[in-house]
A and B are shown apart, each in its own frame.
Chain A
Amino acid sequence: MLDASYVGRALPPTAPYRVGREKIREFALAIGEGASVCRDVGAARAAGHPDVVAPPTFAVTFTMPAIEAFLRDPAFGWDYLRMVHGDQSITLHRPIHGGDDLVTTIHVDDLKTRGGSHMLTLRCEVADTAGEPVATTRLLLVTAAEEARA
């Protein structure tokens, strides 16, 4: 049984995640991103960036583990194993760079149960350790609602 009292709430902020240069390079390689600003600090600085630039979807590498921890928490009651990713959006208030220390706060924005499925909308507010906004991500996750059929 899902605990609907989470809707409208924010979870405690994560510990700061240090964005590693090598993690950005590894992620860029995995998505075939060949831009020198993602791989070479000198090229990034020459283009006016403080350090290597993360590809736009890089934020999943540190927001997804936080989301997974929440969804696997029996207190919430989500069927993690049969989950499907419905949609995803990312707004970048500025590019993410190597060396950033980023804190993620998950907001449980919406939960609907329809046609035997739970549809959960989560929002991650990503900020630096001074509290300046860096990125906002939103995602819709869908999983089977067993109790709806019982």
Chain B
Amino acid sequence: MTEAGDELPPLSVRVTRADLVRYAGASGDFNPIHWSDRVAASAGLPGVIAHGMLTMALAGRLVTDWAGGPAAMRSYGVRFTRPVVVPDDDEGALVEISGKVTAVTETDDGERIAKVAITAAFEGKTVLGRAVAEVAVPSE
């Protein structure tokens, strides 16, 4: 049974320029800082950066993969504290995601909810702040 202190299986994801193009199309976010070096530089960025919402979605997978699927998510929030810079090469940027259960509560209708604190790092530095998800977990 899930308890506070449980650690989730970590997830490492490589994000390439192709992934940013695919996410732009799927999400409808075509801001050129996510695909144009020229525009990213003019915005004062070190290079093309990943969509914050893509990083959020990848980190969310850590939690829903562990909890048994995307329908288990009840709430999820993050702060975008540092950009993930994605080079124009085949390796892309490596995002390393981990998480730990900080509390387990029961709702009035008997559903067990785990609160998970998520850490997402790029080049050893945190890219999401106050990343917390609440997911339904099995009762037994």
A residues within 8 Å of B by Cβ?
23, 26-27, 29-33, 35, 37-38, 47, 49, 53-57, 60-61, 64-65, 82, 84-92, 95, 138
Q: Flag if B70 contacts A88 (CB, 8 Å).
A: no
**With A60-B29, A86-B80 as contacts: A32 and B58 at CB distance below 8 Å:** yes
Q: Flag if A64 contacts B27 (CB, 8 Å).
A: yes
Contacts of B19 in A (CB 8 A): 30
Name the prevailing secondary structure of the A interface residues. mixed
B residues within 8 Å of A by Cβ?
13, 19, 22-23, 25-29, 43, 52-54, 56-58, 60-61, 64, 69-71, 73-80, 129-130
Q: Flag if A88 contacts B77 (CB, 8 Å).
A: yes
Q: Flag if A85 contacts B73 (CB, 8 Å).
A: no
- Shortest distance between the CB of A22 and any CB in chain B (Å): 11
Q: Flag if B77 contacts A26 (CB, 8 Å).
A: no
In Å, the complex CA distance between A53 and B73 comes to: 11
Q: Which residue of A lies closest to B69 (CB)?
A: A35
Contacts of B52 in A (CB 8 A): 85, 88
Q: Flag if A27 contacts B60 (CB, 8 Å).
A: no
In Å, the complex CA distance between A64 and B53 comes to: 11
Q: Flag if A31 contacts B79 (CB, 8 Å).
A: no
**With A31-B23, A31-B54, A61-B27 as contacts: A89 and B77 at CB distance below 8 Å:** yes
Q: Which of B25, B56, B73, B130 contacts A30 (CB 8 A)?
A: B25
